[in-house]
Amino acid sequence: MGSNFSLAATVSSIAAAAEPKVGRPAINRVTLLFMLLLLTGLGAGIYAFVAGHHIAYNNTREMPWGLLIAGYAFFAITSTGLCLLAALSHIFGGNKLAPLANRMVFLSIVTIIAGFFMIGLELENPWRMAIYNITSPNLTSNIWWMGTLYGMAVAFMMVEFFLILTGRLGLAVGLGVMGALAEVMANTNLGAVFATLSAHPFWYGAQLPVYFLASAFLSGAAAIILFTHFAHSIRGEKLEGQELVGVQAAAKVLTGLLFLIGVATAWKFIAFYTGGEETGRLAADSLLTGPMATNFWVFEICIGMVIPILILLLSGFRSVQAMSTAALLALVGGFFQRYDLVVVGQQVPHFFGYDDLPTYLHYVPSLCEFLVALGAIGLAGAGFLLGERFFGKAFRYGHDQH
């Protein structure tokens, strides 16, 4: 009898978080559109399994990583940032970001699942990863640690979100801290996957793990600004009060991280042009004046850094539309940072200078790769809207007291 009552109370508390008014016909149509994108991407990924990844995707032996690895890194890094900001908000309750914390936990789950979607369809045999990760773990592998820790993190966050919905807030904070620690270790291991490859001088070095962690805070701050604005827009509500203060605090975090990432980017190039290997300088040349220059100068620097900083500073963090626009541009720039890093690190042939090899190898994502990436965006978009529909009240400030 007692267990039945407890189960009923749990179901009731979760159901109480639903916000039916978000399920308007117009919002439902947008959700359906995102789901169709998800299904299209899933279909493209299944086609790649059947036809062969070497046919469906434009990756080669010389450039094995492309758009899908970059997209995975983008979503995984964004998830880390959201998780860390939420954990800091929950641990130090009462700070300005606290009103956004519950939504950050949920979005962190959604974005890491979108990342898993991309890497799952990128791997030729993803089921082997699930099997051999447990049966024959390689403790010296950064990729093993990355997958294991991200898996642990998403499990911690799912339990944490369940505890938030059911009002067990003290335990939720503890799970949130464990999830955040797992995300930090997973994120820095993701950076180390690149940073420990000495055969790729553009990646090699101690900077990338810390750079990825800074990028996580940047992307997490941008994501919560954008999605909080969207959440109020779909309800027809004005963003105000403590939630507005929280968004303004996130915008200040975003501004500071944009500046720091700009400094880190400058020093990375300075290091290449004051020493190091020739192939590393050639990779840097690709971004500054070579085939990736448009991506770098237009999308990474102008759209991803300079314009968002100018918008945020000139608006004085007062305009919600300005902060949301800056956040969107920063996320676009963040994606190109991940893509350019992955591609440029492989562009210069290992044996450059021998056998008439080209200076730069060529890679353009295939249609299937683009569709899988759109599918991940569809997953994230549908996840956000369904979360607002079924858990919306849990995201309102005052739902909990931590």
Instruction: Tell me the mean pLDDT in the region 54-69.
Output: 95
Concatenated DSSP letters for 368-402? HHHHHHHHHHHHHHHHHHHHHHHHGGGGSTTS---
The pLDDT value given to residue 3:
54
Within 10 A of 162 (CB to CB), how many other CB atoms are there? 14
Q: Tokens standing for 344?
A: 């440029």
The pLDDT value given to residue 20:
83
62 or 354, greater pLDDT: 62
* Residue among 283, 295, 335, 273 nearest 63 (CA): 283
On the 0-12 / 13-18 / 19+ scale of CB atoms within 10 A, 144 is middle
Evaluate whether residue 6 is within a structural domain: no
C-alpha span between 19 and 245 (Å, rounded): 23
The pLDDT value given to residue 401:
43
Banded pLDDT at 94 (limits 50, 70, 90): low
User: CATH number of the domain that 66 lies in?
Assistant: 1.20.1630.10
Tell me 23's DSSP state: -
What is the number of structural domains in the chain? 1
pLDDT tens digit string along 17-57? Answer: 888 888 889 999 999 999 999 999 999 999 999 999 999 99
Evaluate whether residue 14 is within a structural domain: no
pLDDT tens digit string along 143-158? Answer: 899 999 999 999 999 9
pLDDT tens digit string along 5-26? Answer: 466 657 767 778 888 888 889 9
Instruction: Tell me the mean pLDDT in the region 210-232.
Output: 97
Concatenated DSSP letters for 32-50? HHHHHHHHHHHHHHHHHHH
Evaluate whether residue 312 is within a structural domain: yes
The pLDDT value given to residue 6:
62
The pLDDT value given to residue 287:
97
C-alpha span between 283 and 347 (Å, rounded): 7
Does residue 400 register a pLDDT over 60?
no
Evaluate whether residue 119 is within a structural domain: yes
Evaluate whether residue 210 is within a structural domain: yes
Task: Give the contacts of 275 (CB within 8 A, at least 6 positions apart).
Answer: none
Evaluate whether residue 326 is within a structural domain: yes
What are residue 253's phi and psi, to 5 degrees?
-60, -45
Does residue 259 register a pLDDT over 80?
yes
User: Distance between the two ends of the chain, CA-based, in angstroms?
Assistant: 31
pLDDT tens digit string along 302-359? Answer: 999 999 999 999 999 999 999 999 999 999 999 999 999 999 999 999 877 777 788 8
Q: Tokens standing for 209?
A: 């793990």
Evaluate whether residue 162 is within a structural domain: yes
Q: Which domain holds residue 133?
A: 19-395
Evaluate whether residue 5 is within a structural domain: no
